[in-house]
């Protein structure tokens, strides 16, 4: 289960990406994240993958708070989340 608990991300005083977001995604549930440009979609994904830290709130994958994990533990958690990135995140040393 993925659980966002009252998560906010503020980049600057006038740039609030997420404000008090709470939701859960059940195991084996497939979701699509859609919305207008600037709605916070990319920010939400970056927070889930622990690429950025929330200004407030907690993000859990099962019972683990993803933002309390060490850098060595993060790759194992990220492998459990299927994500399609808009910039493809291709590796220059690999072929498609």
What confidence tens digit (pLDDT) does each residue in 45-92 have?
889 988 899 999 999 988 888 888 888 888 888 877 777 666 666 677
How large a percentage of the chain has pLDDT more than 90? 34
Per-residue pLDDT at 87: 63
Q: What is the gyration radius of the CA atoms in the chain, in angstroms?
A: 14
Query: pLDDT-derived band of residue 96, with 50, 70 and 90 as boundaries?
Result: low
Question: What is the value of pTM for the model shown?
Answer: 0.76
Q: Is the pLDDT of residue 8 over 90?
A: yes
Residue 21's region, left for phi above 0, alpha for psi from -120 to 50, else beta, is beta
* Mean pLDDT (the chain, rounded): 86
Tokens of 91: 């590796």
Tokens of 5: 């608990």
Query: Which domains does the chain carry?
Result: 2-78 (3.40.50.300)
Q: 20-29, 30-39, 49-58, 81-90: lowest mean pLDDT where?
A: 81-90
């Amino acid at each position: 289960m993925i659980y966002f608990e009252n998560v906010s991300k503020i980049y600057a005083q006038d740039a609030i990406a997420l404000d008090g977001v709470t939701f859960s995604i059940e195991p084996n549930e497939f979701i699509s994240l859609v919305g207008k440009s600037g709605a916070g979609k990319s920010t939400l994904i970056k927070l889930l993958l622990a690429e950025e830290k929330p200004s407030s709130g907690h993000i859990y994958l099962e019972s683990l708070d993803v933002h309390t994990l060490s850098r060595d533990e993060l790759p194992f958690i990220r492998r459990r989340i299927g994500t399609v990135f808009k910039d493809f995140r291709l590796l220059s040393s690999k072929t498609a």
